[in-house]
């Protein structure tokens, strides 16, 4: 969702855009290179004669073999940085995640703390933390300039991560509220995330070599956020409460089961997800907005209204 939206925005702004992904981007006006960030030939073809790279490719998820996350998130980033530098690319926007510095405790008004692969929670966060450190280490004034942007919980119409999971579990009656649901969580509407990444491309050189967290700047209690998504999607709102400590313990047990046995799909809960839904994580945006010259233009409530309108259109199109 985010990669396609960024490519569409850059095409609309008049840029010559080339995409690298495993299937066609579907972006009118962009030229596609089919391949993976783990494929040297595909990466080399993608970055040839480019002025800038926005690196959004990642192995995302809460389950999977550790080597899959390592190959794509760490080694893929290493390869892309090397080929971009060799091709004379000037600017590199590395799309990271606040989870690279989330250690399982509440984050209230936090800044962009250093990425910590040793203590980040789960294979995705650990490998994204290692990748961010690689990216920022490659920043060279006069050479490849690298900036890391950490959009937090990006969502919008068509989102399969936050929105998709909340809606699917609510529809199946499997969406409990952890604890009292009062933990404040900030999120990022997709259009705001796109604006921030484009701002990263255009930022003053003094902003490079550092990481910036991007959010809407509107923290809400997690139960209110989930209720808003459910209402926009027309599915039942969460009613059942589960003690947070119990959910974290259950998540740890399910993590171990999915690591040990060849179980299908994703576990219904993981320790990482339980921590994310029961601890505050919202961020001080002053430094980000000053460095990137960016402010979010779509409020959380406007984003929910857009999600509701999109859901209605999808339902109308599917009706006989």
State which H helix or E strand residue 148 sits in: strand 145-151
Distances (CA, A) of 306 to 82, 194, 300, 315: 40, 16, 10, 14
The answer to the question of residue 133 being in a domain is yes
Q: What is the CATH number of the domain that holds 186?
A: 3.40.50.720
**pLDDT for the residue 269:** 67
Burial class (CB in 10 A: 0-12, 13-18, 19+), 241: middle
In a domain, 242, yes or no: yes
The total number of residues shown for the chain amounts to 320
Is residue 320 in a domain? no
Report the pLDDT value the prediction gives residue 110, as an integer from 0 to 100: 80
- For residue 319, tell me if it sits in a domain: no
Q: With a cut of 50, list the residues of the chain below it in pLDDT.
A: none
Structure letter (DSSP) for residue 218: -
Q: Quick one: how far is CA 110 from the chain centroid?
A: 18
Is the torsion defined by CA of 210, 19, 37, 24 positive or negative?
Answer: positive
Q: How far is CA 155 from CA 79, 175, 250, in A?
A: 28, 18, 27
pLDDT at 66: 84
Q: Per the domain annotation, does 208 fall within a domain?
A: yes
Q: What is the CA radius of gyration of the chain?
A: 19
Active site residues: 124
Evaluated on CA atoms 149, 153, 158, 164, the torsion sign reads: positive
* Spatial CA neighbour of 183 closest among 287, 107, 266, 99: 107
Specify which residues 252 forms β-bridges with: none
Question: CA dihedral defined by 283, 285, 286, 290, rounded to 10 degrees?
Answer: 150
Helix (H, G, I), strand (E, B) or coil at 211: strand
User: Alpha-carbon distance 240 to 191, whole Å?
Assistant: 32
Print the SS3 string covering 20-65.
EECCCCCCCCCEEEECCCCCHHHHHHHHCCCCEEEECCCCCCCCCC
* H helix and E strand count, the chain: 12, 14
Tokens, residue 249: 């313990």
Domain range for 6: 2-314
The count of domains in the chain is 1
Q: What is the pLDDT of residue 268?
A: 67
pLDDT the model gives residue 109? 80
Decide if 198 is inside a domain: yes
Whether residue 279 contacts residue 247, with contact meaning beta carbons closer than 8 Å, is answered with no
16 Cβ contact partners less than 8 Å away, ≥ 6 residues apart? none
């Amino acid at each position: 969702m985010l990669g396609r939206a960024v490519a569409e925005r850059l095409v609309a702004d008049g840029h010559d855009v080339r995409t690298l992904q495993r299937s066609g981007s579907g972006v009118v006006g962009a030229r596609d290179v089919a391949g993976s960030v783990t494929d040297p030939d595909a990466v080399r073809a993608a970055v040839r004669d480019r002025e800038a790279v926005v690196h959004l490719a990642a192995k995302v998820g809460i389950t999977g073999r550790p080597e899959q996350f390592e190959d794509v998130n760490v080694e893929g980033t290493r390869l892309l940085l090397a080929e971009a530098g060799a091709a004379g690319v000037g600017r590199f926007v590395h799309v990271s995640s606040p989870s690279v510095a989330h250690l399982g405790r509440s984050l209230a008004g936090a800044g962009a703390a250093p990425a910590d692969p040793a203590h980040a929670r789960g294979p995705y966060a650990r490998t994204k933390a290692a990748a961010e450190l690689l990216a920022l280490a490659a920043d060279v004034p006069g050479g490849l300039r690298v900036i890391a942007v950490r959009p937090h919980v990006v969502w919008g119409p068509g989102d399969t991560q936050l929105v998709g999971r909340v809606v699917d579990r609510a529809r199946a009656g499997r969406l409990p509220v952890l604890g009292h649901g009062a933990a404040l969580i900030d999120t990022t509407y997709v259009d705001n995330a796109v604006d921030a990444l484009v701002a990263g491309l255009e930022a003053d050189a003094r902003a490079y070599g550092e990481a910036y967290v991007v959010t809407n700047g509107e923290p809400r209690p997690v139960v209110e956020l989930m209720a808003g998504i459910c209402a926009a999607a027309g599915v039942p709102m969460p009613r059942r409460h589960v003690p947070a400590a119990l959910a974290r313990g259950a998540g740890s047990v399910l993590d171990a089961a999915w690591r040990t046995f060849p179980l299908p799909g994703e576990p219904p809960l993981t320790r990482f997800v339980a921590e994310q839904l029961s601890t505050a994580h919202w961020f001080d945006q002053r430094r980000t907005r000053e460095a990137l010259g960016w402010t979010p233009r779509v409020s959380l409530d406007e984003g929910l209204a857009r999600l509701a309108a999109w859901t209605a259109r999808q339902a109308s199109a599917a009706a006989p």
